[in-house]
């Protein structure tokens, strides 16, 4: 059974996954992810646009220390990956992994869409999390 890395972070739609943020009822400020617990009462859930634009990024060129990194690679098999911020115009900027084979193809302002990717875990079965890929 496939499960989300956390409840309420994204929903799957016919056109693909969308992220769920929270809009504070008092002033409209957006937060991602949607606050949980007692704070959730102060926010309305808002589905973000299915696409945004790359706001900033970097490339992780060496294997992060374990823990907290839980990749299923080792120092020899590690492949650099991109991580960055995607701006959902008029909504919020969200950080996440960027799914590209060649990070040199990334440019600030590049249209990005929400994607899902496997999240390695040994305790919860097959888990997926959100990421971004060029639109």
Q: Using H for helix, E for strand and C for coil, what is the string for 24-89?
A: ECCCCCEECCCCCHHHHHHEEEEECCCEEEEEEEEEECCCCCCCCCCCCCCCCCCCCEEEEEEEEC
Is the peptide bond between 70 and the residue preceding it cis, with omega within 30 degrees of 0? no
pLDDT attached to residue 121: 64
Question: What letter does residue 6 receive in the DSSP assignment?
Answer: S
Contact 127, 121 (CB under 8 A): yes
What is the number of structural domains in the chain? 1
pLDDT attached to residue 1: 52
Low-confidence stretches of the chain (pLDDT < 50) are none
**What residue numbers bound the domain in which 96 lies?**
2-134
């Amino acid at each position: 059974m496939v499960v989300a890395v956390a409840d309420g972070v994204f929903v799957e739609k016919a056109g693909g996954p969308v992220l769920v943020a929270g809009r504070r009822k008092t002033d409209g400020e957006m937060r991602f992810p949607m606050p949980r617990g007692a704070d959730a009462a102060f926010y309305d859930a808002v589905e973000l646009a299915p696409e945004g634009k790359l706001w900033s990024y970097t490339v992780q060129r060496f294997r992060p220390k374990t823990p907290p990194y839980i990749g299923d690679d080792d120092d020899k098999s590690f492949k650099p990956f991109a991580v960055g911020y995607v701006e959902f115009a008029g909504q919020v900027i969200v950080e996440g992994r960027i799914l590209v084979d060649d990070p040199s193809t990334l440019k600030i302002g590049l249209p990005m869409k929400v994607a899902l990717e496997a999240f390695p875990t040994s305790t919860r079965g097959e888990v997926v999390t959100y990421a971004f890929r060029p639109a």
